[in-house]
Amino acid sequence: MRINLMAKNVNFQGTPAYNGVTAGRASGFLNQTHLRHSLLIFVLFSLFSLIAGNLVSLAVFRPNEMKMHLASPIGVQKSRPDIVDAEGRLLATDIEAPSLYANPSGLMEPALVVKKLKNAMPELDEMNLLRQLTKKNKQFVFIKRGLHPKRAQEIFDLGLPGVDVTPEIRRVYPKGALGGYVLGHVDIDNVGRSGIEKFIDKARSADANLFGADKINTNENGQVHLSLNVGANYILQQELSRALRLYKAKSAAGVVMNVHSGEVVALSSLPDLDPQRPSLQKDKARFDRISGGLFELGSVFKTVTMAMALEANKASLDTKLDVSGPLKIGAHKINDYHGVKGELSVRDIFVRSSNIGTAKLALQMGPVAHRKFLNKLHLLKPMKTELGALPIPQTPKRWGDVHSATVSYGHGLSIAPLQFVSAIGALVNGGIYVKPTFLKRSERDAKRTGERVVSVSTSEKIRKLLRANVTDSHGTARRAEVAPYRVGGKTGTANKVVKGKYSKVKVLTSFVGVFPADRPEYVVFVMLDEPQATKAAQGLTVAGMNAAPTTGRIISRLAPLFKMKPFYPVLNRVSLEK
């Protein structure tokens, strides 16, 4: 049968009729098919060309009307460099922490979801969250950011449709509130908002040149290297806390600075601030009193007046002045806390903290020269550190004789303590002013940028005065002595201004100390706000009874930490033989 069929085919194809008519039709059919294929290829090529052209156009021109319809971004965050102290100990770092979010468009029963979340996290604002989750046009809503991993897992295990967990970067501060005002804080998106954290972002921004990006000192691991010493800061904070208890003060603050490099080794202001809880800044009592407040510092300022008189050769340490009071300047009278009839040497004027004698030295200079010297010490100029701009010093609007007299002993001029401490550093380090810094800095770099403000001779005399104030039987700083480390210093007790008038009861006490006194390496400043006449202060509120002993205790603990050699006077041969 197969053979017959094949034969039929052969016979059929071989007929004249097929070759004439049927072959022509087949040829036409093939031509039409080819045409259709060509047309299809042309259409497809045109479409692809159009698509490709549009893609190129979008990539090059990016029209403004083009928008990406995505779920809200999961926190636009940037990783931050670690911050370490002078010894490389970790102060701030980034970690990964889970955050809880929801997709409102994917929620079947928002009210039920909110109820379950509220049960798991009582701190949630239920009504606000429900409003957010019922907005169907939204595809992303943060519920809680920065959760503890264990808690995040517990909520995830609830199996709520449309609710999920995503990792985010979180800033943590392993030392808690230690150095909190220096470190500052970041916001929820890991952006620096205060302190060194803010400085880092400014230095890394497009305006880096304005803030000196080259000043960010990073070590080989890319960590920001601070001048702070964790051990020193702990000692300072602990002793200030003790002073608050002993003297029942409202607040306390202190700073330790290297007099040669200008490095701030420790800074504390109580009540303190935990960088992990920046909301505490809403408390008006919590602020950096050292670099963020203005105060009339009282008699510690006499150190500056003495330097001015000695530098101008208006007096020597042995020059005597009549301090019989009161000193009258127009309608104003100046008295001493412990009056002395007759004359005192410049040395004893300082040791006994005579307002009258100090005011007379300032009057010998005159208001113009007085202001010029204070400017030379950077005490009247605006100052900026890595923490930002310090408050501008408040000076008398009209600077006459009476103003020079009162400013000479620390009244009538309000200044940030850090600005004052920087000037004291220059007066005791040989006369070179070095701008303070919170970043690691070598003494060589400090000398290269330093500025001579007083002579070596004047600096030596100031050191002698500060030491005498601690060792002399009439000295106001006797309770700051810490054998065998040779402390020098000056007390300050300033009446606070209340409703425009000086209070007779409320005082601000301070003490500026240097050690070792013969060749200082560090300056320590302590300030107590409204200390009370407690038993520990022998019923007095003067600085010699509270700020001075507090500074002494701080130095007694700092000196061994800094591996400072104790000083023991050489005993003479006779005493040895006995």
Distance CA 442, CA 565 (A): 21
DSSP bridge partners of 439: 226
pLDDT for the residue numbered 31? 62
Nearest CA to 416 among 523, 251, 288?
288
HEC readout, 90-123: EEEEEEEEEEEEECHHHCCCHHHHHHHHHHHCCC
Per-chain mean pLDDT for the chain: 87
What whole-number percentage of the chain has pLDDT above 70?
83
Q: Which residues contact 189 (CB under 8 A, 6 or more apart)?
A: 75, 76, 77
Mean pLDDT, range 231-257, rounded to an integer: 98
SS3 197: helix
SS3 144: strand
Distance CA 523, CA 262 (A): 10
* pLDDT tens-digit readout, 369-417: 999 999 999 999 999 999 999 999 999 989 999 999 999 999 999 999 9
Confidence of residue 464 (pLDDT cuts 50, 70, 90): very high
Mean pLDDT, range 476-502, rounded to an integer: 94
Q: Where are the beta strands (DSSP E) in 463-521?
A: 488-498, 501-515
- The secondary structure of 50-82 as a DSSP string is HHHHHHHHHHHH--TT-----SPPS--------
Tell me which amino acid residue 296 is. Answer: E
Distance CA 549, CA 491 (A): 11
Angle (CA) 379 380 384, round 5°: 75
Contact 228, 438 (CB under 8 A): yes
pLDDT higher than threshold 80 for residue 216: no
**Residue 388 token pair:** 């930002």
**Residue 213 token pair:** 């990006």
Nearest CA to 89 among 193, 189, 221, 242?
221
Confidence of residue 449 (pLDDT cuts 50, 70, 90): confident
Query: Longest Cα pair distance anywhere in the chain, in angstroms?
Result: 155
* pLDDT tens-digit readout, 510-541: 999 999 999 999 999 999 999 999 999 999 99
Mean pLDDT, range 451-457, rounded to an integer: 98
Confidence of residue 108 (pLDDT cuts 50, 70, 90): confident
Confidence of residue 207 (pLDDT cuts 50, 70, 90): low
* pLDDT tens-digit readout, 142-200: 999 888 888 888 888 888 888 988 888 999 999 999 999 999 999 988 999 999 999 99
Q: Where are the beta strands (DSSP E) in 346-417?
A: 384-385, 388-389
Distance CA 200, CA 111 (A): 43
Q: Within 10 Å of residue 375's Cβ, how many Cβ atoms?
A: 11
Q: Within 10 Å of residue 59's Cβ, how many Cβ atoms?
A: 8
Nearest CA to 514 among 265, 290, 268, 257?
257
Distance CA 156, CA 272 (A): 36
Contact 113, 101 (CB under 8 A): no
Rounded to a whole number of angstroms, the distance between the first and last alpha carbons of the chain is 148
Peptide bond before residue 393 is cis, with ω within 30 degrees of 0: no
Q: Residue for token digits 């880092």?
A: 200
Confidence of residue 444 (pLDDT cuts 50, 70, 90): confident
pLDDT higher than threshold 60 for residue 445: yes
Contact 514, 486 (CB under 8 A): no
What whole-number percentage of the chain has pLDDT above 90?
64
Q: Within 10 Å of residue 51's Cβ, how many Cβ atoms?
A: 10
* pLDDT tens-digit readout, 18-59: 444 444 555 555 566 666 667 767 766 676 676 766 665 655
Instruction: Pick left, alpha or beta for residue 202 (phi over 0 → left; psi -120 to 50 → alpha; otherwise beta).
Output: alpha
Confidence of residue 60 (pLDDT cuts 50, 70, 90): low
pLDDT for the residue numbered 21? 44
Nearest CA to 320 among 287, 271, 357, 373?
357
Cα–chain center distance at 3: 104
